[in-house]
Amino acid sequence: MVEARLASRNGDGGKMESELKAQQELGKIEQQLERLRALPGQGDDVRSQIEQLHERIHSLQAQVAAHFTSWQKAELARNPQRPFMLEYVDRIFTHWSEVHGDRSFADDHAMVCGMARFHGQEVVVIGHQKGRDTKQNVLRNWGMTNPEGYRKALRVMKIAEKFRRPVFTFVDTVGAYPGLSAEERGQAEAIARNLREMARLQVPIITTITGEGGSGGALAIAVADRVLMMENAIYSVISPESCAAIMWRDASKKELAAQALRITATDLQEFGCIDGIVPEPEGGAHTDHDAAAALLDAVLQKHLAELTKMAIPELVAARYNKFRNMAQFLRVE
């Protein structure tokens, strides 16, 4: 009965696939129009027609995106062409200087930390980093952080606290690395320590879920004064495939699980688990990295301006109360 209801909401797999293919084809057509626009010797009439076609493509992309299901949003969040953390850093921040190592075991390349300037203000930037190809993904461990990555992140947060620098974190991971080696080195303890220390860190913290926000691996750098989500990002305690395998013993029912989990930005804002949704370019952030970064930049400026006006004791108390009040669905009169 539950499966039938969710299936009716999601539609069949063929329709979902056709909508994603439509988005891809529209993106290809837009790229061809951009190349055509760059050609020399075009008259005003030709340029006018190209602009009309651009507007029509944007309208069609918006119509397709408006009907995306939770699973389709999950696929967009996992799109390998979405901008990663370092690509946002290149476009939003200046004077980037990376910090390496946890001063205990190793340097985890899945977690990138460093100093930077945000519109002239000294800040600290932390985030998960995936790779574009197999070689990069091996280096970055597919964005899955080991304990030393979380300890490096905490080390840099403490530097930020010492020098009164706001912290920006970027979340994009399927989850913390679940391997035996990570457990032997204290994966759970490293995540738990980050949760505790971030809850009382004496500087403003702004987190943005840019792609996948998976379980404790995401939350370990997401206890923030402002938690934002990109429009097509997802944030969940478990992946739809794993949930389907547990609930129905069938990972192919991932579409049903995605709908039931309520993993989209709209769902989580409704529940009060996040503080804002960052719009993406038509078709998704993967279609235009510069535009996606510009949209995020504007939102980050707004929230940082609000947070820097607050006294530190007030800031920390508000952060604590925000997380304490999450998921309260019953009220006693």
pLDDT in tens, 70-108: 888 888 899 889 999 999 999 999 999 999 999 999 999
Residue pair 190/147 in contact (Cβ under 8 Å)? The answer is yes
Confidence class for position 6, pLDDT limits 50, 70, 90: very low
The rounded Cα 237 to chain-centroid distance in angstroms is 14
Question: Which pair of structure tokens corresponds to residue 64?
Answer: 């397709």
What's the pLDDT score for residue 69?
82
Residue pair 190/151 in contact (Cβ under 8 Å)? The answer is yes
Per-residue pLDDT, averaged over 111-120, amounts to: 96
206-216 pLDDT, tens per residue?
999 999 998 89
Q: Distance (Å, rounded) from C-alpha 108 to C-alpha 113?
A: 10
What's the pLDDT score for residue 204?
97
pTM: 0.80
137-168 pLDDT, tens per residue?
999 999 999 999 999 999 999 999 999 999 99
Q: What are the helix (H) ranges across the chain?
A: 2-10, 13-38, 44-65, 70-77, 85-92, 134-140, 147-162, 180-184, 187-199, 215-219, 240-247, 254-261, 265-271, 289-308, 312-324
Range with the poorest average pLDDT among 56-70, 245-259, 276-290: 56-70
* Distance spanning both ends of the chain, measured CA to CA: 35
Confidence class for position 172, pLDDT limits 50, 70, 90: very high
Q: What percent of the chain has pLDDT over 70?
A: 83
Determine the 3-state secondary structure of 107 from DSSP.
coil
What is the torsion angle, in degrees rounded to the nearest 10, for the CA atoms of residue 259, residue 322, residue 309 and residue 206? -40
Q: For the chain, state the CA radius of gyration.
A: 21
What's the pLDDT score for residue 55?
72
Q: Distance (Å, rounded) from C-alpha 333 to C-alpha 330?
A: 10
Residues 6+ apart with CB under 8 A from 197: 154, 157, 158
Confidence class for position 59, pLDDT limits 50, 70, 90: low
The DSSP bridge partners found for residue 168 are 125, 206
How many Cβ atoms from other residues are within 10 Å of residue 179's Cβ? 13
When mean pLDDT is compared over 34-48, 136-150, 258-272, 314-328, the highest value belongs to 136-150
Range with the poorest average pLDDT among 47-51, 84-88, 100-104, 320-324: 47-51
Range with the poorest average pLDDT among 38-52, 116-130, 169-183: 38-52
Q: Which amino acid is at 316?
A: V
Residue pair 177/215 in contact (Cβ under 8 Å)? The answer is no
What is the torsion angle, in degrees rounded to the nearest 10, for the CA atoms of residue 105, residue 109, residue 111 and residue 117? 110
What's the pLDDT score for residue 319?
95
Residue pair 169/219 in contact (Cβ under 8 Å)? The answer is no
- Average pLDDT of the residues of the chain: 86
CB-based burial, 137-173: b 16+ in 10 Å, e otherwise: beebbbbbbbbbbbbbbbebbeebbeeebbbbbbbbb
What's the pLDDT score for residue 282?
78
**Crossing angle (nearest 10°) for helices 70-77 and 240-247:** 130
What's the pLDDT score for residue 325?
86
What's the pLDDT score for residue 179?
93
What's the pLDDT score for residue 218?
94
Residue pair 221/127 in contact (Cβ under 8 Å)? The answer is yes
Q: Distance (Å, rounded) from C-alpha 83 to C-alpha 101?
A: 24
